[in-house]
Structure 1
Amino acid sequence: VDIDQGLRAYMIKVYNLMGLGLLITGLAAWGAFHLAVTGDGQLTGFGQLIYASAFRWVVILAPLAAVMFLSFRIQSMSVAAAQTTFWVYAGLVGLSLSTIFLVYTGTSITQTFFATAAAFGGLSLYGYTTRRDLSAFGSFLIMGVIGLLIAMLINIF
């Protein structure tokens, strides 16, 4: 029972931190889009910078750089430094993903978010209540993602 309570407390902390990270990502994406695009759909100066200039590559690649930095330095970082890097990463991902607001409606983005959150929550609850290791699904799901990427590329043409 003590181990279960400790695991439960740990998992709640992890889920809370990840939830806060998702909130930061969403707010950064929403905020960046609203700073970048006027009400009539025209790009502001900020929008020109992050969406239509060579700087957009920095915006696109910055989350990858943050992940690489964190993965190389995580063992020697303090907890506070690692958390700060995670929050910066969450904001960078939001900035990078803000372009989805240029293509999709708020309704479709919201529906996709809630469908993904429900699937994650359902699988988490299933794994927690049945105490099954769901890592065996990993290779199957990766193959599904690869299949979806191939289908998306085919549909482009």
Structure 2
Amino acid sequence: MYNFDQEPERRHLVDEAGLNSFLSKIYGYMALAVFVSALSAYLTMTVFASQMMSLMVHHPWTMWLLLLIPIVLTFAINFQTTRNPVASFILLMITAIVYGVTFAFIAGTYTGQDIASAFVASATVFVVMAILGTVTKKDLSRWGSYASAALIGLIVAMLINMFLKSSAANYIFSFIAVIIFTVLTAWDA
């Protein structure tokens, strides 16, 4: 057994090849989850559209269930990650399907061009910031705490704006959210 107390300077060594392999694997899982969500959304709005609309009309609480299930699944994934990676992967795919179904109903109010533009823009920002956060030599640890604090402030402001109903504030909050999540993506990577 190696005693790190004998050589404290070795504690900070990182196996870069192993880290890059791990990050590639994680990003691959996330890409698969996004694909599964997109496929679920597509199938929900095309092949199963009449069944899903009928379900929503006859059981309006179903939308609340679709919004709450991912929260429960996220906690289950966090609990299962180290105990059972296969179960975590299955829960991730179930979460992706539920998000796909949920987003299908939200996306039903927008055109295909709007959705494609939003997807391409957000995917591009995510990929660029993930790469930047992975390869940069700069310490981004402080950025994460600032962005997390800003995210909490944004959520509070958005909750207040639910009562004020200011479209101008919603527009400004959209830009702020993009900046916050861009910083959080770079920090997290």
Give the TM interval when normalised to the shorter protein.
0.7 to 0.9
Aligned AA (2:62): F
Given that 1:51 and 1:99 are in contact with CA atoms closer than 8 Å, whether structure 2 keeps it comes out as: no
Q: 1:150 to 1:133 in 2, by over 3 A?
A: farther
Given that 1:29 and 1:98 are in contact with CA atoms closer than 8 Å, whether structure 2 keeps it comes out as: yes
Q: Distance in 1 between matches of 2:158 and 2:58?
A: 25
Q: 1:30 to 1:139 in 2, by over 3 A?
A: farther
- In structure 2, which of residues 18, 30, 37 is the aligned counterpart of residue 25 of structure 1? 37
1:149 matched to 2:155: no
For residues 80-121 of structure 1, the C-alpha deviation after alignment (integer angstroms, 9 at most, x for no partner) is 111111111111111121112221111111111111111111
CA RMSD between the two structures:
2.7
Note the residue ranges of structure 2 that are not aligned, 5 or more in a row.
1-13, 169-189
Given that 1:33 and 1:101 are in contact with CA atoms closer than 8 Å, whether structure 2 keeps it comes out as: no
Cα shift at 1:27: 0.9
Matches within 5 A, 1:15-94: 15-37=27-49, 44-50=50-56, 53=59, 54-76=61-83, 78-94=84-100
Given that 2:80 and 2:87 are in contact with CA atoms closer than 8 Å, whether structure 1 keeps it comes out as: no
- Aligned counterpart, 1:13: 25
- Aligned counterpart, 1:40: none
Q: Distance in 1 between matches of 2:127 and 2:65?
A: 33
Cα shift at 1:52: 5.9
Q: 1:18 to 1:45 in 2, by over 3 A?
A: closer
Q: Match of 1:98, SS? A: helix
With normalisation by structure 2, the TM-score equals 0.66
Given that 2:40 and 2:97 are in contact with CA atoms closer than 8 Å, whether structure 1 keeps it comes out as: yes
Q: 1:73 to 1:121 in 2, by over 3 A?
A: closer
Equivalent pairs counted in the alignment come to 149
Q: 1:52 to 1:136 in 2, by over 3 A?
A: farther
Q: Distance in 1 between matches of 2:19 and 2:106?
A: 36
The more displaced of 129-138 and 100-109 is 129-138
Tell which structure's C-alpha radius of gyration is larger: 2
With normalisation by structure 1, the TM-score equals 0.78
For residues 22-68 of structure 1, the C-alpha deviation after alignment (integer angstroms, 9 at most, x for no partner) is 1111111111121343xxxxxx2332214662322222222122112
Cα shift at 1:132: 2.9
The more displaced of 147-156 and 127-136 is 147-156
- In structure 1, which of residues 104, 114, 123 is the aligned counterpart of residue 120 of structure 2? 114
Note the residue ranges of structure 1 that are not aligned, 5 or more in a row.
38-43
